[in-house]
Structure 1
Amino acid sequence: MKVVQLAQQLRPLVGHSRPTTICHHLKPRALANNNHDSITQFDLSLTLKRKAAEISPDLKGTCLFLVEALRYYYFDSDSVVEEALGGKDAVRSFIKTDLKGFRDSETEVLKQLSSMGRLVVCAGNGAVQCAANLALMRHGISIWIDVPLDMVAKQIVLENFQLPAAETINGSYSEVLTQLTAIYEDSRNGYATADTTIALQNIASRLGYDTLDAVTTEDMVLETLKEVERLMRAKKLMEEAARPF
């Protein structure tokens, strides 16, 4: 459930342009202690920094609704809403008495964040359930981090992962999985509007890993950077094609 770690590794890119939104959760593999793995992680870190430096000029500060390597600033929209409303307990009370008011608060936070540059915003499920929110995210690059729900459910149950106050998920593994599935079904149309999808299963397969747990945060970051680079190149080609002769 460490999309936060992914987002924090992607943050203060040079310039200013559109936001990137990252939705969903992921668990990075714990770093090994032997020298070989340490060297591998060091090399991967350098690769990430080089890739970030390559794409920075084209991004021109465009926000990533999802960042030190890219020199972007990271925000978790759920946390911003919680702080604005007075904490987790206040949020839970607000949701019970005025759900529409809470959703309006989510929209206002996204509106403020989307008006800024050089941000990576990790958006909650509520952000993709509203047409107004989806429209705001069009000011940036939206990325869906697709992680199997059973993996997320295990983390919630086994690791006592602290969810945003707006998400009331608890119980046994099967109960948590059922609740997550319901939330996913409510949000899937919003996820489908993302500019691109980073799927944990696809990365594990491409890198030849035996398990999804083997995929590291760095693997996910590098894949995300490549996708952002691809999107910016496509945008540049479209802009050049639209220029008059």
Structure 2
Amino acid sequence: MEIIAGTTATTMATQSITPKGLKFDPPFSLLHSQSYAPIRTSLQYSIISRKPRITTRSIADDTTSNTVTKVAAEDPSFAVKKAADISTELKGTSVFLVGMNNAIKTHLGNFLADALRYYYFDSDSLVFEAAGGESAAKAFRESDEKGYQQAETEVLKQLSSMGRLVVCAGNGAVQSSANLALLRHGISLWIDVPPGMVARMDHSGFPESEVLPQLFALYKEMRDGYATADATVSLQKVASQLGYDDLDAVTTEDMTLEVLKEIEKLTRKKKMMEEAARPF
């Protein structure tokens, strides 16, 4: 893991983030086509205008209204206070969340960004926007898998060159050595959510019985890639530690606190290594 000093929000807001030397073939080009505008707009203006927003919700299901987090019951701002202390130690280092895409990971990414006073981005969403939408991105991937992978790499390259970001990274982030190397510019965490839980949150319209086998296969295929992350935060483990029998009882705050603990361990370890390397 390489922790680097991050770029400040002011610097990022004034920097040009237009990628250089892109040579994607038509019809997809992050640099030359109009479809690149959403990435440019998202990375520039969201950073300037973004304001922290702290929310409390059940991460498993937005319709769950009776979930009460143990931490929030004692002190709703505990995670935020802890994040403030850790943010100083991070020195602007970005955080990349890998794992299967689901509402839990998304809610966690947003909440963590708010707590750290960072900026949140979803790498897949940026690729979709640049391609002209999710359906267009899907068609592009089917027609040019290599080109799509290049697009994923380019987005990660842009994001990894910046600081003070929480990025929900798509599966492409752990499918190539180039992308894995880009994740080393920050801290990477595997948000491990059981496929069965992901299937329950699926809104594709397909029956859960059809979605679940596909998700299990995807989990098996991607597990080794996810495991290359600097640390793992398991939903099942968090539930067990808190004494919850139902995974739905785990909240965004619960997961955020576990993530912050892992980040704290990693930053402390790096600090110790740096001190040990200093000459007498």
TM-score by length of 2: 0.70
CA distance in 1: counterparts of 2:90 and 2:248, whole angstroms = 31
C-alpha distance in structure 2 between counterparts of 1:204 and 1:221, whole Å: 13
Deviation at 1:187, TM superposition (A): 1.3
1:59-113 superposed Cα distances (whole Å, 9 cap, x missing partner): 0000011312110000000001011111112112101211110111001000000
Match of 1:46 among 74, 77, 82: 77
Report the CA distance between 1:38 and its aligned residue. 9.1
Distance apart, 1:50 and its partner CA:
1.2
Number of the residue aligned with 1:82: 128
Q: Deviations over 1:126-154 (max 9, x none)?
A: 22111111110011100001111111112
CA distance in 2, matches of 1:177, 1:114: 32
Structure 2 residue 274 is matched with structure 1 residue 218: no
Compute the RMSD of aligned alpha carbons: 2.1
Tell me, in whole angstroms, the C-alpha distance in 2 between the residues paired with 1:177 and 1:145.
18
Aligned twin of 2:32: none
Which runs of at least 4 in structure 1 moved beyond 4 Å after TM superposition? 37-40
The correspondence for 2:269, drawn from 234, 237, 242, is: 234
* Amino acid of the structure 1 residue aligned with 2:149: R
Q: Structure 1 residues 27 and 149, CA, compared in 2 at 3 Å: closer, same or farther?
A: same
Match of 1:10 in 2: none
Return the alpha-carbon distance in structure 2 between the equivalents of residues 92 and 39 of structure 1: 41
1:176-210 Cα shifts (integer Å, max 9, x gaps): 11111222222112111010000111111111111
Corresponding position of 1:130: 176
Task: Name the structure 2 match of 1:110.
Answer: 156
Structure-1 separation of matches of 2:153 and 2:164: 19
Q: What is the aligned residue count? A: 209
**2:91 equivalent in structure 1:** 60
Superposition deviation, residue 171 in structure 1: 3.5
| Residues 118 and 164 in structure 2, CA contact (< 8 A), matched pair in contact too | yes
1:115 counterpart letter in structure 2: S
Q: Counterparts in 2 of 1:4-23, with a 5 A limit?
A: 16=6
Gaps spanning 5+ residues in structure 2: where?
8-58, 98-112
What is the Cα deviation at residue 175 of structure 1? 2.1
Percentage identity across aligned positions? Answer: 60
8 Å CA contact 2:69–2:249 kept in 1: the answer is no
Q: Which amino acid aligns with 2:60?
A: K
Distance 1:97 1:178, change over 3 A: same
Give the 3-state SS of the residue equivalent to 1:69 in structure 2: helix
SS of the residue corresponding to residue 106 of structure 1 reads: helix
Judged with a 3 Å threshold, the aligned counterparts in structure 2 of structure 1 residues 105 and 184 are, in CA distance, closer, same or farther, namely same
CA distance in 2, matches of 1:40, 1:218: 7
- In structure 2, relative to structure 1, the CA distance for the partners of 1:39 and 1:31 (3 Å cut) is farther
Alignment match, 1:177: 212
Cα displacement (A) at 1:49: 1.5
CA separation in 2, counterparts of 1:209 and 1:226?
19
CA contact (8 A) 1:28 1:214 kept: no
Classify the secondary structure of the residue corresponding to 2:189. strand
Q: Map 1:138-157 to 2 at 5 A.
A: 138-156=184-202
Residues 55 and 229, structure 1, Cα contact 8 Å, conserved in 2:
yes
Match of 1:5 in 2: none
The 3-state SS of whatever aligns with 2:201 is helix
- 2:60 aligns with 27
Mapped to 2, the partners of 1:133 and 1:92 lie a distance apart of 20
Calculate the TM-score normalised by the size of structure 1.
0.79
